[in-house]
Structure 1
Amino acid sequence: MRLLRGLGLLLFVLLLVVFAGVLYARKVSNPVVSGSVQLRGLTGNVTVTRDRWGVPHIRAQASDADALYALGFVHAQDRLWQMEFQRRVAQGRLSEVLGDAALPQDRFLRTWGFYRAAQSALPALSPRTRTLISAYTAGVNAAIAQDRLPLEFRLLRFRPERWTDVDSIAWSKLMAYDLGGNWDQELLGQRVVARLGAAGLDAVLPPYPAGGPTILSSQELGSTGHLGTPGTPRTGLAGVTLPAGAAAQLASQLAAARSLGFVNAPGKGSNDWVIGGQRTSTGKPILADDPHLGLSAPMLWYLADVQGPTLHAIGASIPGLPGIVIGRNERVAWGVTNVNPDVQDLFVEAPGAPLQSRTEVVRVKGKPDVKLTVQWSAHGPVVARSDEWGDRQSRAVTLQWTALETGDTTFDAFLGLNYARNWTEFRQALGSYVAPSQNFVYADVDGNIGYVAPGRVPVRTPGWDGSLPVPDDAAHRWTGYVPFSQLPQVYNPQDGLVVTANNRVAPDTYRPFLAGNRMWAEPYRAERILQLLNPGHPLSPADVAAAQLDTFSLVWRDLKPLLLATQPDGALSTQALALLRDWDGHETLQSVQASIFEAWLAQLQRMAQDELGTPAQPDATALTSVAVLAQLRQDGPLCRDTRAGVRDCAQELTRTLSAATADLAGRLGTDPARWAWGDLHRSYSKHGAFGGVSAIGWIWNRGLPTPGGTDTVDVARPEPGTFRQTHAPSYRQVIDLSNPNASRYIGTLGQGGNPIGSHYADLQRLWRDGQTIPMSSDPADWGRSETLNLRPAR
């Protein structure tokens, strides 16, 4: 009884804390959204009208700088904690507020130097960009001065510092990491070659299928003069075997990055496409985009409509970054997906190689400061060091990466897109783009469409493919970058269609992107989108929106004959196979076959673990669907597992089906007819600081049953071991160039950062169910609204 009373008292105290937090959040941290405020730094009047979904429509009279000032102000009003957390990640200053549990993350972030890279980028930007960033910074600081801080600051007992211009660049470096690297594949590649030989690389990390769709054809590249300069084909896989100590250091950094949500997982990707007017029911282009990123709470994106005298942009912004990242203005629209060129390389420096160094102090909440020495070479940061080489001399492992180099003008490109009025200005803006390389699709109100894949793509010395760590010698050099004029691009393609789904950009006739690249997404999403966009009749905006939500599994189509030929072992396996025989392949919420298929596929994706071992990250050695298919078709060696008594792929299919059904029975009960996909597969939007704290994480975290699966167009690959959906279409847009205000968009949760606010998660069910809200700058489309007037302080 005494224990029960104690537990009851603890629960009572916890409820009081939560209740107090709720009162605080309601009274203090909710933004002021109506009335009038006077703010220093404005040059003229600005109105901020929030529509019924909390989307701000900013109207600045005097200057575009005032419009960006207001964007900074509303970003900080609604998402100040998100902005604070993001900049502390970029700075490597999480331990100051979270304690020594965040030290591994801070060490990784300081070692790589993300914030130092942001500092070096600022001077390279154009005067216009610098002016607009400074205006945005002033707006953020004006909101901080209002002293309506989110609940997180109260719980962690600190106040935010003033925002700086570098802070507005810094998060873009982490986005570049999330979207633009393969250093972890180099580590895996080394592991594969060491254990399976060079031939094993194609089994574990297979090249893009020969018949898979490419974004551009040889004819499209050649007809526009952008075929590229043929390069030297791959001549070998010679690399350096990293000793255990260096590999362990790199694995530790990889684990730290993954704990922050930066995961290069199979199935992570995005879709965008543009359709010419000759294919549409409106007679004008339709442009669609749905970038697939890690789910977070609050959501990454912030929808906004920003207008000044010459700036008229609406779409998805990111709190902390000025401008619209994906969207449209009154004349042109654009969308992005990840290109995935190989822009990272690990080098082993020679003994005694010249290095620069500095000592950084990591402040730790409640603990003594920690001093960290960071070093870098001409290639980039020293990411590991070891004296375990054959000659027992100390060598540094360094990383060369385009996003860490000086002179990054990517911000010029994004702000330039906000202003672009035609194809020429669009391409001019993208000429400044550095990293992470993206597939940009384009459309304008005059009926033109196009595509560009900008960014710095290194040209390597002949014979080196970039797939493994290499020595720092004359045979392994970056000799320059692919010129912008030779990067893949096309304007008004003859067939009136450009589709991108992180698939291979171009066929073999275009070589600069191909050497060593094993990062292309599997062809399934691109192939399915092409099927959906060639229905034999003109496409409407509704048809395009429906294509974004497609849950048909082409992976199932390919694996079906192999899986259905399996010899079942036990009653559950027999019942599961019987259910699969009649499945139409759509991974809907109600489908029990989707649960069986995804659970089985997850087991098959682990077939290389006995050969490669089980690293700290459970999906680090997970095979792609293409790799699984190849092994099953060829009765490949990865199927065999002598410890488990598995001699061939037939036995592996029996074993994995039995394991999958046993797993499902443990989660959902022993009746396969009740294994609905929606009962197993849920989105998981996690708060960055408190999401993993069981006592209070529920206040911020959000989730609900979701459709889709591995490599469906509505991509929803389940997380290994949990079946949670941690990556998703983070934003959707369908832009109708015949009537831009009829365009639609949506985010995963809501506009607000206050977990009890009305706009924290009011878009979540709409997003899950495929609904959208008006992407309109017309007040008639905004519904009930509230207006805040921003006035210059006198």
Structure 2
Amino acid sequence: MSSSSSGLSRDQWGIPHVRAASLTEVARLQGWATARDRTWQLEIERLRGEGRTAELLGPAGLEWDTFARRARLAEVAREAFERLDEETQGFLAAYVEGVRSGLEGATCAELDGPDGLGPAPGTWQPWTPLAVFWVQQILFGSFPSKLFGARAARVLGADAELFRTEGLSGGSNAYAVGGGRTLSGLPLVAGDPHRVFEAPNVYLQVRLACTDPDDAFDLVGMTFPGVPGVQHFAHAGQVAWGITNAMADYQDLYRVDLRSSSDVVRRSVETVLVRDQEPVEVEVLETDRGPVVLGGPDEGWGQVLRTPGHELGDLGFGALLPLLRARSVADVEAAVAHWVEPVNNWVIADVAGDVVHTVGGRVPRRDAAGEWTGWIDPLPRRTAPVDGAVVTANDRCMPEFDVLATGFAPPFRAHRIGRLLDDAGPLDAEQAVAVLADTTQTAGEQLLALVPADLRPPALAGWDGAMDGSAGAAWYAALRAEVVDRICTAPVLAPLREPSEHGSLYEPWFSLPARVAGALHVILAAETPFGLDPRELVAEAAKTVLEADREAASWPETHRFWPLHALEQFELPHTRTAPATPLPGDTDTVRCNAWIPGTTVTVRGSVARYAWDLADRDNSRWVVPLGASGSSDSPHHTDQHDAWARGGAVRVVTDWSLLTEEKTWL
């Protein structure tokens, strides 16, 4: 491939490498390639953003569509698009042109999806990428956990504080080390975002290069399928970055009396079409503080959702082009100034040796009554010296984080990464990835300390805490499961064992076993949590596990990879094509394959893994759990899985001569 040519190429993993002479042509080619790789995934994500999944899926999509309409996802996406500058609008419009062209060339089987549902109604609009982005983020904030917190407070009073961890179990890692701690003498940035495993994956690897002399860029990174550019993780040659969720409290719920019209400023009725059933009318109510997403006139009350996106009519897409053009830490920070939500930790490093951790997004400033009075500014920021490091794992990274929230992820992963980096010699990209593969459990120390000496099995002797195939890991897992089950049976917790009163959409946040498991180290440190005696409870649980008189099953074998297809997320049948690979790691290990009490699978863990080498981008590593293609017929459907499952990654390739050109119809 000549240095002057443009078009789409692929590496050995089928990852798209786009090169074009203009920004808009790059966007068109990226859209086309994404449509070819993730045809049905793109369409179902578009329908989610429009609140139209029931048109394709039938009644199974009605709960989501009702939420999407009431939360005004599409309307805010349209408004946010209109507020963008003309160049960014053109970039989005070009990407959508590419998506449309790619979808027009798709086969009937690709458009019908995996179970022959037929093509999705409607088509892509210039604002659709904003809606797709918000679909991925709207439930990623604090408001679903606030619903559970309100129920726990009603039931438990002060003891509800024992559940204080923000969001769901698990989380993401990101770190950067200065050049004094690397083999090359230049910084490294590494990390692994953790979300629900999806098939196809929630992130798509891509390389984007523009050869326009006045607007040249060339970067590798990851994007949500359906969103142009790269957002969260990228290596732009001279600068690289990654993110984790900062766990900020940037969403609020307000209860309003709907028997009075004073709070509601706009009312409308939308019709949701439902496949093979009569249409359903959804009343959309808006207030000055946001839309009513729960309750309604029939109940006489409503819950208003207030978010920065609703408040500003802005979803942060003003950051897209500055990120593509970034050449330094300062450039990335300037781009991050446009970010809105979710509020993220950004770990950034460049070839000048600068290493920065900054928080980007909009966090409301609240008065004593909980009303928003502006935005917190400045947000936390820190730097690392040449022989230093910054680490973030959804934890309270520094005292300044108090302005963001009151609840963060426990510090186990962050502390473990820090210790591994301190113990390591000079790092290269492969060693940086190995840090992210660590499976040593430290969160269980509180539990193990309560096991009486006469009930400690031989398996614990010499166990180093690794959640692997060892007998120690199996026994610890069995004990923890027994302890969680016993805590959940506490009489005072009976109301919390009930399903969410808000419907199945919110059920993951209301799972009592998951809440107990996530806060177990806090619960067991209390004197009489929920009226229980921790020492007595753990002793009885240990005795039960010992008396089972059987060898505990291997932890990885009972902790298998289980990515969810969109149909499974809507509780519809689906023929699985992804492997159910045994996985080491655990909720609070660095390799955070989250444990779900009562199951033998894990549906949450690292949805990507990367290590960006600022000295030589081709020494960098990246990987996703499955592959680049969403089609089960493609050789690139699951070809990265083995490397990912081993805790490794594949090499980044940027030499155009090593890539294979692919014909497009643009």
TM-score (norm 2): 0.90
Match of 2:322 in 1: 416
Deviation at 1:455, TM superposition (A): 0.5
Structure 1 counterpart of 2:25, from 41, 52, 66: 66
Query: Cα distance 1:661–1:759, how it changes in 2: closer, same or farther (>3 A)?
Result: farther
Deviation at 1:707, TM superposition (A): 0.9
Query: Cα distance 1:206–1:427, how it changes in 2: closer, same or farther (>3 A)?
Result: closer
| Cα contact 2:247–2:404 (8 A) shared by 1 | no
What secondary structure is seen at the aligned counterpart in 2 of 1:443? strand
Separation in structure 2 between the aligned mates of residue 791 and residue 694 of structure 1, nearest angstrom:
35
Match of 2:504 in 1: none
What secondary structure is seen at the aligned counterpart in 1 of 2:365? strand
Deviation at 1:349, TM superposition (A): 2.4
Match of 2:584 in 1: 707
1:479 equivalenced with 2:373 (yes/no): yes
Deviation at 1:721, TM superposition (A): 1.4
Separation in structure 2 between the aligned mates of residue 558 and residue 653 of structure 1, nearest angstrom:
11
1:165 equivalenced with 2:126 (yes/no): yes
1:187 equivalenced with 2:147 (yes/no): yes
The range that moved more, 600-609 or 708-717, is 600-609
Separation in structure 1 between the aligned mates of residue 425 and residue 630 of structure 2, nearest angstrom:
43
- 1:295-314 to structure 2, matched below 5 A, reads 295-309=197-211, 310-314=216-220
1:688 equivalenced with 2:566 (yes/no): yes
Query: Cα distance 1:604–1:376, how it changes in 2: closer, same or farther (>3 A)?
Result: farther
CA-to-aligned-CA distance 1:511-545 (integer Å, 9 cap, x gap): 4224xx22x11110001000001016333333211
- 1:630-649 to structure 2, matched below 5 A, reads 630-638=522-530, 640=532, 648-649=533-534
Match of 1:512 in 2: 403
- 1:65-214 to structure 2, matched below 5 A, reads 65-151=24-110, 153=112, 155-159=116-120, 161-179=122-140, 181-197=141-157, 199-205=158-164
Separation in structure 2 between the aligned mates of residue 523 and residue 510 of structure 1, nearest angstrom:
13
Q: Which amino acid in 1 is paired with 2:373?
A: T
CA-to-aligned-CA distance 1:382-431 (integer Å, 9 cap, x gap): 1233789xxxx933321111233333151121332121111222121111
Structure 2 counterpart of 1:788, from 649, 662, 665: 662
Q: Please tell me whether Structure 1 or Structure 2 has the larger radius of gyration of its CA atoms.
A: 1
Match of 1:281 in 2: 183
Deviation at 1:142, TM superposition (A): 1.1
Separation in structure 2 between the aligned mates of residue 111 and residue 553 of structure 1, nearest angstrom:
42
Q: Which amino acid in 1 is paired with 2:30?
A: L
Deviation at 1:284, TM superposition (A): 0.5
Deviation at 1:567, TM superposition (A): 6.4
What secondary structure is seen at the aligned counterpart in 1 of 2:189? strand
- 1:560-575 to structure 2, matched below 5 A, reads 560-563=448-451, 565=452, 568=455
| Cα contact 2:221–2:234 (8 A) shared by 1 | yes
Separation in structure 2 between the aligned mates of residue 203 and residue 791 of structure 1, nearest angstrom:
58
| Cα contact 1:182–1:344 (8 A) shared by 2 | yes
- 1:137-536 to structure 2, matched below 5 A, reads 137-151=96-110, 153=112, 155-159=116-120, 161-179=122-140, 181-197=141-157, 199-205=158-164, 264-267=167-170, 269-309=171-211, 310-325=216-231, 326-350=233-257, 351-355=260-264, 356-385=266-295, 394-462=300-368, 475-483=369-377, 486-493=378-385, 496-507=388-399, 511-514=402-405, 517-518=406-407, 520-535=408-423
Separation in structure 1 between the aligned mates of residue 63 and residue 531 of structure 2, nearest angstrom:
36
| Cα contact 1:69–1:135 (8 A) shared by 2 | yes
1:584 equivalenced with 2:431 (yes/no): no
Separation in structure 1 between the aligned mates of residue 568 and residue 270 of structure 2, nearest angstrom:
27
Separation in structure 2 between the aligned mates of residue 679 and residue 136 of structure 1, nearest angstrom:
43
| Cα contact 1:632–1:649 (8 A) shared by 2 | yes
Q: Which amino acid in 2 is paired with 1:615?
A: E
Q: Which amino acid in 2 is paired with 1:432?
A: H
Structure 2 counterpart of 1:548, from 423, 433, 436: 436
Q: Which amino acid in 2 is paired with 1:166?
A: W
Deviation at 1:690, TM superposition (A): 5.4
RMSD: 2.6
Separation in structure 2 between the aligned mates of residue 182 and residue 401 of structure 1, nearest angstrom:
10
Query: Cα distance 1:48–1:151, how it changes in 2: closer, same or farther (>3 A)?
Result: closer
Deviation at 1:377, TM superposition (A): 0.5
| Cα contact 1:403–1:436 (8 A) shared by 2 | no
1:600 equivalenced with 2:509 (yes/no): no
Query: Cα distance 1:623–1:367, how it changes in 2: closer, same or farther (>3 A)?
Result: closer
- 1:666-745 to structure 2, matched below 5 A, reads 671-672=550-551, 675-689=553-567, 696-698=574-576, 700-745=577-622
Match of 1:28 in 2: none
Separation in structure 2 between the aligned mates of residue 141 and residue 546 of structure 1, nearest angstrom:
40
| Cα contact 2:567–2:574 (8 A) shared by 1 | no
| Cα contact 2:56–2:117 (8 A) shared by 1 | yes
| Cα contact 1:352–1:395 (8 A) shared by 2 | no
Separation in structure 1 between the aligned mates of residue 474 and residue 537 of structure 2, nearest angstrom:
19
CA-to-aligned-CA distance 1:109-130 (integer Å, 9 cap, x gap): 2222222221111012122211
Deviation at 1:654, TM superposition (A): 3.4
Match of 2:539 in 1: 654
Separation in structure 1 between the aligned mates of residue 554 and residue 380 of structure 2, nearest angstrom:
43
Q: Which amino acid in 2 is paired with 1:582?
A: G
| Cα contact 2:203–2:608 (8 A) shared by 1 | yes
| Cα contact 2:165–2:410 (8 A) shared by 1 | no
Match of 1:31 in 2: none
What secondary structure is seen at the aligned counterpart in 1 of 2:561? coil
Deviation at 1:93, TM superposition (A): 1.0
How many positions carry a matched residue from both structures? Answer: 641
Q: Which amino acid in 1 is paired with 2:611?
A: V
| Cα contact 1:205–1:623 (8 A) shared by 2 | no
CA-to-aligned-CA distance 1:463-499 (integer Å, 9 cap, x gap): xxxxxxxxxxxx231111112xx11123444762110
CA-to-aligned-CA distance 1:643-689 (integer Å, 9 cap, x gap): xxxxx223311343466679xx7xxxx6316x212221101012112
| Cα contact 1:99–1:364 (8 A) shared by 2 | yes
| Cα contact 1:332–1:445 (8 A) shared by 2 | yes
| Cα contact 2:609–2:622 (8 A) shared by 1 | yes
Separation in structure 2 between the aligned mates of residue 659 and residue 113 of structure 1, nearest angstrom:
51
Separation in structure 2 between the aligned mates of residue 59 and residue 192 of structure 1, nearest angstrom:
53
| Cα contact 1:630–1:636 (8 A) shared by 2 | no
The range that moved more, 718-727 or 330-339, is 718-727
Separation in structure 2 between the aligned mates of residue 367 and residue 417 of structure 1, nearest angstrom:
45
Query: Cα distance 1:439–1:124, how it changes in 2: closer, same or farther (>3 A)?
Result: same
Deviation at 1:692, TM superposition (A): 7.7
Query: Cα distance 1:609–1:172, how it changes in 2: closer, same or farther (>3 A)?
Result: farther
Separation in structure 1 between the aligned mates of residue 537 and residue 52 of structure 2, nearest angstrom:
47
What secondary structure is seen at the aligned counterpart in 1 of 2:279? strand
Query: Cα distance 1:626–1:772, how it changes in 2: closer, same or farther (>3 A)?
Result: closer
Query: Cα distance 1:679–1:537, how it changes in 2: closer, same or farther (>3 A)?
Result: closer
TM-score (norm 1): 0.76
Identity %: 29
What secondary structure is seen at the aligned counterpart in 1 of 2:65? helix
| Cα contact 2:177–2:387 (8 A) shared by 1 | no
